[in-house]
Amino acid sequence: MAFFKRFKKKKTPQEQEGQPQAQEQAASPEEQPSETPAAPQGEAEAVAAEATAEQLPETSEAQEQPPHEPEPVQEAGAAPQAPEAPAEPEEEPKPEEPAEPDAPAEPKAETEAPEPPEGEPKRGLWGRLGQRLKKTKDKIGGSIDRITLGKKIDEDTLDELEEVLVTADLGVQTSLKLIEQLRGKVARKELDDAEALKKALAKGITEVLSEVPPAPERDNNPHVIMVVGVNGVGKTTSIGKLANFFQRQGRSVLLAAGDTFRAAANEQLTIWCERVGCDIVGGQEGADPSAVAYDAVEAAVTRGHDLVLIDTAGRLHTKVNLMEELKKIHRVLGKKLPGAPHEVILVVDATTGQNALQQAKLFNQVVPLTGLILTKLDGTAKGGVVVAISGEMKLPICFVGLGEGMEDLRPFEAEGFAEAIF
Ligand SMILES: Nc1nc2c(ncn2[C@@H]2O[C@H](COP(=O)(O)OP(=O)(O)OP(=O)(O)O)[C@@H](O)[C@H]2O)c(=O)[nH]1
């Protein structure tokens, strides 16, 4: 019996957790009040005042209570878990020690993969970074070696491969699509051995990863990027790395410390800012994040910066009140600078596997996502979720995090990634 049939009977974690939440979130836009008049230009206080004026039941509740306090907030660095359906437990040890909440981690030094010894052929960037994807590579490429060892490739092999792909977090839908593509080749006896099978699969995965629209051109002035995600996925760290990436491209970056909930977030971002050499608009603990975002765009216009990267507090995608706060930041940015935010990037932690896909679906219902950053690909065998998210969401993976160092954020490249996991 094909794995999917067995798998379907058991019900996937995705099926278990996805549908009720999706309905809950899908209902929320109708609960929204109509837009209020534009915020007065140039005054952050006015934006904060707007917060009071446009109280939603959910928003006001979020503001009366400490907005994040009762959350089952995970410790920084650990995989976020939706209470309803925890992500499948990892077989491997946790990737890193959780950071002390009040002691922002110093950005780690660069941990570049070593160049090949002289004389050896140069492999692509992703080839050199293949070591960082070792667990995913072992899971997918290694399993293919095992299931094809000493056997001819036939329908049974495809059944086993289907199981490998689903358990490697490529998602049921995408795994089935890939298997269907291989079926004809197997029938025509075009795939003789593991290498041919891997090559054909890598091609199929590259196609899935390439079927997404490109990330928006970053040519607005200033170009505003809002960064969102659940707790501890690596938002602040990724913003620091992004600032470094863009500054090295010769663009001047301003960071907005819009995570005004976590005491150390402002400090953590300031450390990144000093390290990278960019500008920052800080956010006092407890301040209205929309006001910080508003001020940051104003400062970027006045000071002539090219890019604004807005950090936001971590929030569980299942908490409607906190998700409403994101809508407000989005709305206020649009009032301050028409067209802003030009990008809304969701940061997801690859170690959470299918839960990351679920987060992407639910955040996308609240603020229109333009792309994703997948962090912690270096510490997980669940890297296949990259393919599931691309295949199902049709959203570009803009960058991937492959470590904690400043340079460990890479622009995603479909072909290189597909090669690196085999
Ligand atoms: N191994 C690895 N660790 C990462 C990566 N990206 C971030 N981290 C680590 O993940 C931990 C959490 O990162 P933060 O940037 O503080 O996460 P956050 O999403 O801003 O957290 P909250 O503000 O609490 O929601 C830190 O220890 C980071 O160093 C990555 O790509 N690989």
pLDDT in tens, 375-419: 998 888 888 999 999 999 999 999 999 999 999 999 999 998 898
- Distance from residue 404's CA to the centre of ligand 1 (Å): 8
**Residue-level pLDDT at 125:** 56
Tell me how far apart the alpha carbons of residues 78 and 352 are, in angstroms, rounded to a whole number.
Answer: 9
Respond yes or no on whether ipTM tops 0.95. Answer: yes
The pLDDT tens digits of the residues spanning 235-292 come to: 999 999 999 999 999 999 999 999 998 888 899 999 999 999 999 998 888 899 999 9
Tell me how far apart the alpha carbons of residues 269 and 136 are, in angstroms, rounded to a whole number.
Answer: 30
Any ligand 1 atom below 6 A from CB of 231: yes
Atom of ligand 1 nearest to the CA of 315: 25
Residue among 136, 261, 404 whose CB has most ligand 1 atoms within 8 A, to mutate = 404
Tell me how far apart the alpha carbons of residues 315 and 73 are, in angstroms, rounded to a whole number.
Answer: 8
Which amino acid is it at 176? L
Backbone angles phi, psi at 243, to 5 degrees: -60, -45
Backbone angles phi, psi at 220, to 5 degrees: -80, 160
**Residue-level pLDDT at 381:** 85
What does each C-alpha distance from 174 to 139, 162, 216, 385 come to in angstroms? 17, 10, 25, 10
Question: 282: annotated binding-site residue?
Answer: no
- Residue ranges in the chain whose pLDDT is less than 70: 1-129
Tokens of 64: 């009366």
**Residue-level pLDDT at 321:** 80
Question: Which residues, at least 6 apart from 358, have a Cβ–Cβ distance to it below 8 Å?
Answer: 14, 17, 18, 21, 82, 85, 317
Question: 231: annotated binding-site residue?
Answer: yes
CB 219 within 8 A of CB 198: no
What does each C-alpha distance from 28 to 34, 51, 75, 106, 361 come to in angstroms? 13, 18, 28, 39, 14
Tell me how far apart the alpha carbons of residues 115 and 70 are, in angstroms, rounded to a whole number.
Answer: 47
Atom of ligand 1 nearest to the CA of 409: 31
Any ligand 1 atom below 6 A from CB of 235: yes
Question: Which residues, at least 6 apart from 348, have a Cβ–Cβ distance to it below 8 Å?
Answer: 229, 230, 233, 356, 359, 360, 372, 373, 374, 375, 385, 389
C-alpha 35, offset from chain centre? 29
Question: 314: annotated binding-site residue?
Answer: yes
Nearest to 235 by CA among 67, 80, 396: 80
Nearest to 361 by CA among 6, 22, 16, 14: 22
Question: Which residues, at least 6 apart from 199, have a Cβ–Cβ distance to it below 8 Å?
Answer: 422
Helix (H) or strand (E) holding 223: strand 223-228
- 29: exposed, middle or buried (Cβ count in 10 Å: 0-12, 13-18, 19+): exposed
**Residue-level pLDDT at 53:** 37
- Distance from residue 158's CA to the centre of ligand 1 (Å): 37
CB 244 within 8 A of CB 325: no
Tokens of 344: 């809304």
- 3-class SS of residue 400: strand
Which amino acid is it at 412? F
What does each C-alpha distance from 341 to 136, 321, 385 come to in angstroms? 34, 21, 26
Buried b vs exposed e over 244-262: b needs ≥16 C-beta within 10 Å?
bbbbeeebbbbbbbbbbbb
